[in-house]
Amino acid sequence: MNKDSQMRAAINQKLIEMGERERLKELLRAKLVECGWKDQMKAQCKDVIREKGLEHVTVEDLVVEITPKGRALVPDSVKKELLQRIRASLAQHSTL
């Protein structure tokens, strides 16, 4: 198990070095904006803010409330595409 996690870390590191991770992140962001996920999440944020009060809301509040909803609201198509891209990059970088 340790070996695996180590290897994962190593691979992650490699992805970062190749700049692939950055690319993947940008891709995901763009797709989320496109599909309207961002607007949905902003609406959720508004609710949270109104609940907590404008002056006293903290980052932690938002993170705690928003992240699980955000994970759930990602559309399937985006998820599938991103997984595909990740697999492709892994395959590409495994040979290097």
Binding site for other proteins (CB under 8 A): 4, 6-12, 15, 21, 24-25, 28-29, 32, 38, 41-42, 45-46, 49, 54, 57-59, 62-63, 66-67, 70-71, 74, 79, 82-83, 86-87, 90-91, 93-95
DSSP 8-class letter at 56: T
Q: Which is nearer to other proteins, 63 or 77 (CB)?
A: 63
**Strand, coil or helix: 96:** coil
Closest approach, Cβ 66 to other proteins, in A, equals 6
What is the per-residue DSSP string for 7-41? HHHHHHHHHHHHTHHHHHHHHHHHHHHHHTHHHHH
